[in-house]
Structure formats: structure tokens, C-alpha cells
A and B are shown apart, each in its own frame.
Chain A
Amino acid sequence: MNHHKIVFTGAPGAGKTTAIAALSDKPPVLTEVRNTDAALGKSHTTVGLDFGQVDMGDGQSIRLFGTPGQLRFEFMWRIIATDALGLVILVDNAKPDPLADLAIYLDAYNELLPTMNCAVGIGRTLEYPRPSVDDYAEMLGARGLAFPVLPVDVRRREDVLMLVDTVLFQAEARTV
């Protein structure tokens, strides 16, 4: 297999498109359209998927996929994540109930998570410190999950890389 897949998922506005753009070798392919849902609070939103790629130079590549955030596209989430090397769930802490946002994605990926290499990135924790990163970890723990939970600013490539690194370490541990 020459191509590997890392999937970025999360609620609308969590930063999936930005995170992919931070890593992709080329400008990512986007399927954004004008947003008609005022509740999302942004002008455009992804309706298909975002796609970026990191070419490793030897015929192998890492394909970066971003899922559409809106719940009505939930049927696509698992399709995109199947056989992924890792899954990154992004949460916007500025949202009214970010823990509930995370719960939606944990439920949606419930069947995949026990064997999935996964990390959770919490955005805008400086402006919105509650819930804390530990609150998220506790919530995951209550579900029997011990995924890395990190505060991130997806505009910073280093932060996105840190998330990916935790996913890679999980993947490496599982493949031994």
C-alpha cells in the first residue's frame, strides 16, 4: 500500500480545513460552498471533503482528508475514516457545548475507535479555558478511551504536527 490516510474530523468551524492546509504539500482541494446555516457563524463550509497530500518521495504519500462537519453529512464520516492510519478530532472550545460536540463524533466513530489511532485537539482554549483539557480527558476516560487530548491552534503547523505525532506513536505501538 503506497498511500496512507489521516482524517481530520470535527464540528463545523473546528479548523479541519486549516489543519490540512498547514500540513499539505500543495494547496488542499476544498469543497466549500457558501454557508446558508446561520448557526454555523461562517461564510463557507465544507460539503464534500477536504483533501491534502504529503508526498514522501518514494511513491508513498500521506493523504489528508477532512470530513464535512455538519451532522447531516454524518454518513460520510465513517466512509472517509475507514482504513485510516489515524483520526484527529478537532473541537472548538468557543462553542456553546464543546463536550457535546465531541460526544457526537465519539458516537459516530464508536465502532472504529477501539482500534483507531486517534487524537483530540481542542481549539481556542486560551480565550475559552472551560471546559479544560482534563475535562475532555475525563469524558473520554468515562467511555474507556485514552486518546491524547491536546490544546491546539490549528493555524500553527507545530500544533497540528504534535497531534499527528501522537497518532503516529499510537500507530507504531500497535504495529509492533
Chain B
Amino acid sequence: MTNASATLDIRRARGSVIDPSRPLRAGSIASALAPRCGPIVLIGGRLRPHRNRCQALEKMLCDASTAAMLRDDPRASPGLALRDVPVQGDTGMTFRRTLRLQVQSLTDSDIAKVATFLRVGRGRLRCDWEIVFGGELHVLMLGDGEPDTLVGMLDDPLAMLRIVDAGTERRDAGSVLLVRPLQYDAFIEALSAVEQRVHASHGAATTSAPADVVPASREADAVPAVAEAAKPGASFRLRRWPPAAALQGHRYYLRLASCLSARHVGIDELVRLSNVSRPRCEEFLATLLAQAVLDVRPTPATAPTAAPPARSARSASSDATPQAAAPARSRPLPDTSLFGKIRRKLGLTLLR
């Protein structure tokens, strides 16, 4: 792979190179915007020194690819994207969180633009963004005229974006207004603001309690440790309640931590109790291991239990584990346990 330490190489899959040390010209990337050219790869993972240049390139790519896409087929993807590829030994890559952008009542054209913006703007954003149409969300994006709540949603999203037609006189407290036609910079800046809030909350905790917060690299290092610790029979219990920053990674972390606070729980049991997907559980356990707040017991705490009945109202979450659904039924059984009844009565199922 090309050594990226001296210069930043922006090249197409076919190999043509844009020299970042020279001014960017529209003509120099025009060939890269051909409909079937494939992704544009940014080699080296060294975006930061060339931030302005990359943002300019993103904008040009986005404008051109969006225009091409809308001209041909609003649903089509032109396959253009900036991808950050690390070279061997490059330590510039950082841990990226995935945030979920739920779109509601947007036109196909708007959705296609959003998808393109996210793809092209990936290098400018600190997190990976996923477009979803239901379930768990971090940011809610609404078409004009839609109510700002969703049925069954009690949790506030981190932010609410609303697309309005130009000239619309609308003032929404708590919403970020984006004007049609959707602009790349405005959209990416809105998401960047959300990311800053996420990172700021994490960073604040880092400042106030440095000993409690684990850098992303340490967290990543803990994943193999979890794999080792999660061998059959291993069980986990909290030594103490985790630092608040460790619980902010995902809305279900509170649920997982609660299960782990009562007794030693194996990972399969944790998946079943919480109805959270196994990868998510492993990720959380890795976080807790890195924080040194987890007691790991290598021998089985309890004998394996029989497959549980599926639980109601949990299937709405994309993290709902497939194992929790009764395999022979198309619809989950209602949770008839005492706890299921209590949660239903209190409306706690809506919080899940």
C-alpha cells in the first residue's frame, strides 16, 4: 500500500491520483465522478492535516454525485464515497461509534440525498451514521408538518432535524431546521453538532474523573479480553456501578448494568435477561472490563437454563436478539411473567 506519510493520496480504484499538495480542481476529479467509477479511496487515515482540502473535496463530490443521482434515479447510489483506509502501522484511526438517524416522512429524494451526504461526509464526521426507519434512534429527522414525537417513543433523541421548504416561517424549539433543497454543509454541520455533544459529555467525564474513563484504544484492547473471559462458563458481576460515562454508549447499557449488579451472570444469560444482542452485550462487557469494575468468575455460576419464552414489545429494537424470539412463531409471545406484567402496566416496555 502506498506510503501516506509524506503526502495524502486521493485516488480512484483505477489508480489516478489527486495530489493534495496542489489546489483541487474540479477537472481533476471529474473523471472520478463517472457513474461506475467505484469508491474513491483516501489512503493513509491522515485526514486531520488536510482537513480543509478534504472538506472541499467532499463538497465537490457530494454536489456532483447528488446531481447525477437525482438526474438518473432518486433511489440509485452512484457508488461514490470517501473512505479512510489506514496504512499498516498507522495509528491515526480512532474508535468510531455508530449513531442512528431515524428518518420519518421524508421524500425518497430527501432520503437519497441524506444517504449520499452521509456516505460522502464520512471523513468529516466523527461517528458512523446509519439511516433507520424505526427502533432505536439517536437523531430524528422529520419532514415538514410531521409531529415531533413518534408513537411509543418516550426517550428524547439527541437532536431533532426538520426539513422545511424554503420560505417556511417555522420556529421549533429544540429542532434544527434544514431548508430544502437539503444542503450538504448544513446537514453535516447539524450532525457534527450532535457528535460534539456526544463527545463533550464523554470528554467532560474524562476531565472530571480521568481515572474512571477509558480511552477508545483501551476499550478496543478489552474486546479480546472479553472473548477470553467469555469462554463457556464464565460469568460476570459488577464490583461497583460503572462510571456514568461508560453507560452513555448505548441506551441499553443501563439495562445490562442492572442485570450485572444483582449477581454473576453468564453472557448467554445476560443476552436472554436483557434481550440485547450478544455483540452489544460483549461490547458492554469489554467496556466494563476496561474500567475494572467487573468481577469475572471463570466457573459456571448456574446451570444453563432452558430456552426462555419470547418477550413482548422488545422486538421493536434492532438490538432485540434473534434468540429471544420463539423460532416457531412469527409473532413474539407476550411476556406473562410478573416482571412482564409490571412493565406493561407501567409502560416500561416503551422505554426499551
Check if B240 sits within 8 Å of A141, measured CB to CB: yes
Check if B237 sits within 8 Å of A165, measured CB to CB: no
**Within 8 Å of chain A (Cβ to Cβ): is B154?**
yes
Given A146-B241, A148-B261: A173 and B273 within 8 A (CB)? yes
Given A132-B209, A140-B241: A173 and B346 within 8 A (CB)? no
Check if A134 sits within 8 Å of B257, measured CB to CB: no
Q: CB-CB < 8 A to B242: which residues of A?
A: 137
- Distance (Å) between the CB of B323 and the closest chain A CB? 15
**Within 8 Å of chain B (Cβ to Cβ): is A83?**
no
Check if B244 sits within 8 Å of A147, measured CB to CB: no
CA distance A164 to B274 in the complex (A): 15
Q: CB-CB < 8 A to B237: which residues of A?
A: 146
Comparing B35-43, B62-70, B262-270, the segment that makes contact with chain A is B262-270
CA distance A21 to B342 in the complex (A): 17
**Within 8 Å of chain B (Cβ to Cβ): is A174?**
yes
- Distance (Å) between the CB of B256 and the closest chain A CB? 9
- Distance (Å) between the CB of B160 and the closest chain A CB? 17
Given A58-B341, A132-B208, A158-B351: A137 and B241 within 8 A (CB)? yes
Partner of B255, one of A141, A169, A174: A169
Partner of A168, one of B209, B240, B302, B348: B348
**Within 8 Å of chain B (Cβ to Cβ): is A166?**
yes
**Within 8 Å of chain A (Cβ to Cβ): is B259?**
yes
CA distance A170 to B257 in the complex (A): 9
**Within 8 Å of chain B (Cβ to Cβ): is A17?**
no
Given A168-B339, A173-B263, A176-B269: A132 and B244 within 8 A (CB)? yes
Check if A141 sits within 8 Å of B259, measured CB to CB: no
Partner of B241, one of A23, A147, A165: A147
**Within 8 Å of chain B (Cβ to Cβ): is A100?**
no
Check if A23 sits within 8 Å of B263, measured CB to CB: no
Partner of B351, one of A132, A134, A165, A167: A165
CA distance A117 to B261 in the complex (A): 9
B281-318: CB near A (< 8 Å → 1, else 0) gives 00000000000010000000010010000000000000
In the complex formed, the residue of B with least CB distance to A171 is: B339
Given A133-B244, A158-B154: A166 and B345 within 8 A (CB)? no
Most chain B CB neighbours (cut-off 10 Å) among A62, A133, A149, A172: A172
Check if B351 sits within 8 Å of A146, measured CB to CB: no
Partner of B273, one of A162, A166, A176: A176
Check if B345 sits within 8 Å of A57, measured CB to CB: yes
In the complex formed, the residue of A with least CB distance to B256 is: A169
CA distance A117 to B99 in the complex (A): 32
Check if B212 sits within 8 Å of A173, measured CB to CB: no
- Distance (Å) between the CB of B265 and the closest chain A CB? 6
**Within 8 Å of chain B (Cβ to Cβ): is A60?**
yes
Q: CB-CB < 8 A to A55: which residues of B?
A: 345
In the complex formed, the residue of A with least CB distance to B344 is: A56
CA distance A10 to B239 in the complex (A): 24
Check if A4 sits within 8 Å of B338, measured CB to CB: yes
CA distance A169 to B343 in the complex (A): 10
CA distance A148 to B258 in the complex (A): 6
Since A134-B208, A165-B258, A173-B259 are in contact, a sample of 17 more A-B pairs with Cβ atoms closer than 8 Å, ordered by chain A residue number, is: A56-B341, A134-B205, A137-B240, A141-B293, A146-B237, A146-B239, A146-B241, A146-B261, A148-B254, A158-B154, A165-B254, A166-B254, A169-B262, A169-B273, A170-B262, A176-B269, A176-B302
CB within 8 Å of B: which residues of A? 4, 23, 54-58, 60, 62, 117, 119, 132-134, 137-138, 140-141, 145-150, 158, 161-162, 164-174, 176
Q: List 23 A-B contacts (CB under 8 A).
A: A60-B338, A132-B208, A134-B243, A134-B244, A137-B242, A141-B239, A145-B240, A146-B237, A146-B261, A148-B261, A150-B254, A158-B154, A161-B347, A165-B258, A167-B258, A168-B342, A170-B262, A171-B262, A171-B339, A172-B337, A172-B339, A174-B263, A176-B305
Q: Can you list the 5 inter-chain pairs with the closest CB atoms, starting with the nearest?
A: A141-B240, A169-B258, A146-B238, A137-B241, A170-B262
